[in-house]
Amino acid sequence: MSEIKIYWIVIIFYMFIVIGIGLIASRRTRGISDFYLGGRNIGPFVTALSFIAAYFSSVVIIGGGGFGYKFGMSTLWVGAINVLLGCTLCWIFLGKRLRKYTQKFGTMTIPGFISERFKAPETRFFLAIVIFIFMIIYNVSVLKGMGHIFEVLMKIPYIYGILISGTIIILYVTIGGYVAVVWTSFIQALIMIVGLFLLTSKSLIAVGGLTAVNERLAAIDPGLLSTPGVWGYAGLISYCLIVSFGVWGMPQLVIRFYSIRNTAVLRIGTIVVTIGGCLALLPYLNGAISRILSPNLTNPDLAIPTLTKLVLSPLGAAIFLAAVIAAGMSTFSAVLIIVSSAIVRDFWQKGLKKQTSEKKLLRAGRVVSAVAGIISLLIAFKPPGLVLVLTAFSWAIIASATLWPILFAIYWRRTTRWGVTISMFAGSSVALIWMVIGKPFGIHGFIPGIIVGLILIIVVSLLTKPPSKEITRKIWED
Amino acid sequence: MGPFKTPWSTFFAWVVTAVSIIIAITWAFIDLQLSKRKANKRENKRE
């Protein structure tokens, strides 16, 4: 059987599984709370592994491999900080309190929680618009990644690649809502773990073990082995912060804490997410191994696809291809649900105060998910230059707007409405302007964005009238 | 040089990953004990 045929069989089998999950999940989706939060009844394993699948997209697997190829073993630090800051500490510091307080306020979304917590309706509108625009742009980058993987590994045109993956995702998200997203993400995380471990073990065998990897990398360039090596501290630290601390403000990830069954199961979830998150190190390690086996690649992003073809059998490569596509699909689907909730729940129902039946809301949720997916698909067909520039920092803008409001909402009772409003507006604007003017001093826009946001949330809160006792009592009393 | 001929500065990335797992398990254990203590206190108060 030809290599391409094996790829197709594995991919079609995998697509049937995710659509099947969507159909089963649609039976459990009766109202808007089910569609956006799965009725707040998701277990620890599904929550933790779906968090990992949404966190590490195909961009991380392919792009991370590219970083490993270019900068060597120091990139392992990115994976390590992803595990410590992006998984373990994120779950410890945000999980329990967000689960508890969002239930107290009866909110389903990030804009909803911040708006209700601070009695600040303007934040709901602002965040809904930021999420709509920049999440769709982020989704374009995820789709693009998947399209290129189909192109390189399966030899099918880019357009067909994004059409196949995009259509399947829109289908299962629209019919199954959040339950379909978390369950498909759970399966996708398992496929990612199997795929990445398979590739890593075969690559290590091909090179002759970890000691041989280090010896051969040092022979190419000693800078590929040490930290920060050829990357330098500025690049390494700022990148680690963006992709690890930025997670604390990403709605498609933080929403997992809203939907987990109760605070007790968060304990198991924290252990599972930490152990599962260790897969974050593998793309970087494989990228470095690829540098040894194929030292003359012109594009570092080809490091992982090339390594796959070199060390895996056709069936193994097909499983790994499914893992990469799974990583992209899980991220794309998680973002679709968030965009839909921002428009239907925050902008339309709560923001414009539209009274409507549960049935109509559910229908609106499904329609908006589909429309958001189709918009992303249309843009991804031929992304304009501006969109390509924006994809690089959509994550930073969203995180600059939401990170401090979320943290301060659950940890500092003196935080005020205007402290939060001004901080989120200024933080995201600074991040955007910083990137548009070409990243002065080589610093990513996320860093000035969060520094300005942090200063403003503290200073403005201290200068404005403290929040009413009614608000602080509601959140801080058991 | 650390194990597998890895420079210590890079090897510590593996150590940080292992420490994360230890932190997660320790936090889960402490949180469980604190919850139990809280529940006991509430029970005693009711009695």
Could you read off the pLDDT of A379-402 as tens digits, one per residue?
A: 988 877 666 566 667 888 999 999
Q: Are A253 and A189 in contact (CB under 8 A)?
A: no
What pLDDT sits at residue A158? 87
Residue B6: DSSP 8-state: -
Q: Tell me if B10 and A209 make a contact (CB, 8 A cut-off).
A: no
What pLDDT sits at residue A387? 63
What pLDDT sits at residue A478? 62
Instruction: State ipTM.
Output: 0.94
Distance from CA of B8 to the nearest CA of A (A): 8
To which residue do tokens 């357009």 refer?
Answer: A159
What pLDDT sits at residue A391? 65
The pTM assigned to this predicted structure is 0.90
| Tokens representing residue B17 in the block | 């990953």
- Name the closest residue on chain A to residue B23, using Cα atoms: A88
Intra-chain end-to-end CA distance of chain A, in Å: 63
User: Which of A81, A88, A97 is the best residue to mutate to test the B interface, defined by the most B CB atoms within 10 Å of its own CB?
Assistant: A88
User: Which of A73, A214, A262 is the best residue to mutate to test the B interface, defined by the most B CB atoms within 10 Å of its own CB?
Assistant: A214
What pLDDT sits at residue A315? 85
What pLDDT sits at residue A262? 84
Q: Touching check for A83 and chain B: CB below 8 Å?
A: yes
What pLDDT sits at residue A75? 92
Residue in A211, A267, A274 closest to B31 by CB: A267
What pLDDT sits at residue A281? 94
State the 10-residue block means of pLDDT for chain B, 47 residues long: 88 96 96 91 82
Query: Which residues of chain A are within 8 Å of residue B16 when distances are taken between CB atoms?
Result: 77, 80-81, 83-84
What pLDDT sits at residue A33? 81
* Low-confidence residues in chain A, pLDDT < 50: none
What pLDDT sits at residue A388? 59
